[in-house]
Amino acid sequence: FTNRRNFRLNGPMYDAVSIAEDDQWRRIRGVLSPYFTSGRLKEMFVIMKQHSANLIKSMKMQADKDGPLEMKEYFGPYSMDVVASTA
């Protein structure tokens, strides 16, 4: 379906596929769909798996030191690595 709940966002998020409606949604989805085929997602999975192993390794090293884990310090770089690598 094309129309979702309207949060009345302004700025750069106004054109997000999760917010766009009707013809704008169809245009954005048509552009994005070829990048999310099952074959491409399978390729991305391998990349995400590698970065996940690095994430776990980093978190384990900090946990072994009995130090607190600030999740933002780990998942921010992890997210950036996955997005940049899969792009």
* Across 2-11, 22-31, 68-77, least confident range: 2-11
For residue 63, what are the CA distances in angstroms to 50, 58, 73, 78? 20, 9, 14, 17
Residues 27-56 have pLDDT tens digits of 888 998 998 899 999 999 999 999 999 999
Q: What percent of the chain has pLDDT over 90?
A: 53
Residue ranges per structural domain of the chain = 1-35, 36-86
How confident is the model over 3-20, as a mean pLDDT? 68
**Confidence (pTM):** 0.65
User: Where does the pLDDT of residue 4 fall: very low under 50, low under 70, confident under 90, or very high at 90 and above?
Assistant: low
Contact assessment for residue 69 and residue 62, using Cβ atoms and an 8 Å cutoff: yes
Sorted by sequence, the CB contacts under 8 Å of residue 13 that are 6+ apart come out as: 19
